[in-house]
Copies of this chain bind each other. A is one copy, B any other.
Amino acid sequence: MHTQILATEARPTPREFGVGARVTLAVMSSDYIEIILGALAETDATGLEIETDDVSTWIAGDEQRITEYLAELIAAASRGGEHVTASVLFSRGCPGEISCELPPGRTALVSEVPTVPPTGVTASAQWALYPLDNQGSPGREADHMRDIYEAIDRAKANGSYVRSDHYVTRLSGDVATILETVAGGWVLAGRTVAHVTTHVTLAVNSPSGVVR
């Protein structure tokens, strides 16, 4: 019994660790209500806690399911051909929300990098990654610029990297590949830094075409 408690303390669940996301999905069409509600209804929410308010939809669960869900949701809203933008925030390590108090000794949560099947929907995106504390973990000091460069190298390796721009990295490709890049950077930085957030804005079916 005591052992079990210790094991739980050593590896909190994603929910206990504050793993989750928010997405603001915008559809540039007068039919936006049906398109957004339709996309929310048809996207598989197994294993997730989901709550929609007037600004965004909150999604909590493990990193793999959250990333799959977001890819499916954004693709579903875009398949009718309307111009769609999605602003996504992933967060980890802030279970007490704004107060951000982690139990002592819990400096980071090691998770698997999410992999998502292609959606067939292509987007342009602008991405920023924020490792927010400097605690580090045994054997590896936290270093936010190192984590960011590693995340960008992964984006170059999977082909989603386009270029750096003011305050963001520009990505393009399948919505799934873009979200793999973003969630992957977030999970990898989160292996040494407890509190990590990342923001990405995706644009699908832009009337100005894909800018590279």
Flag whether A80 is at the interface (Cβ < 8 A).
no
Do the beta carbons of B125 and A55 come within 8 Å of each other? yes
Do the beta carbons of A54 and B209 come within 8 Å of each other? yes
A153 vs chain B, min Cβ distance (A): 12
Do the beta carbons of A20 and B89 come within 8 Å of each other? no
Among A31, A55, A164, A166, find the residue whose CB has the most chain B CB atoms closer than 10 A: A55
Do the beta carbons of B132 and A211 come within 8 Å of each other? no
**Copies of this protein chain in the complex:** 2
Of A38-46, A92-100, A111-119, the one touching chain B: A92-100
Among A31, A33, A126, A132, find the residue whose CB has the most chain B CB atoms closer than 10 A: A126
Do the beta carbons of A91 and B167 come within 8 Å of each other? yes
Cβ contacts under 8 Å, A60 to chain B? 166
A132-152 vs B, Cβ < 8 Å mask (1 yes, 0 no):
111000000000110010001
Flag whether A203 is at the interface (Cβ < 8 A).
yes
Flag whether A160 is at the interface (Cβ < 8 A).
no
A198 vs chain B, min Cβ distance (A): 10
A49 vs chain B, min Cβ distance (A): 10
Among A91, A130, A209, find the residue whose CB has the most chain B CB atoms closer than 10 A: A130
145-176 of chain A: CB within 8 A of chain B:
145, 148, 152, 164-170
A205 vs chain B, min Cβ distance (A): 10
Cβ contacts under 8 Å, A24 to chain B? 85, 87, 201, 203
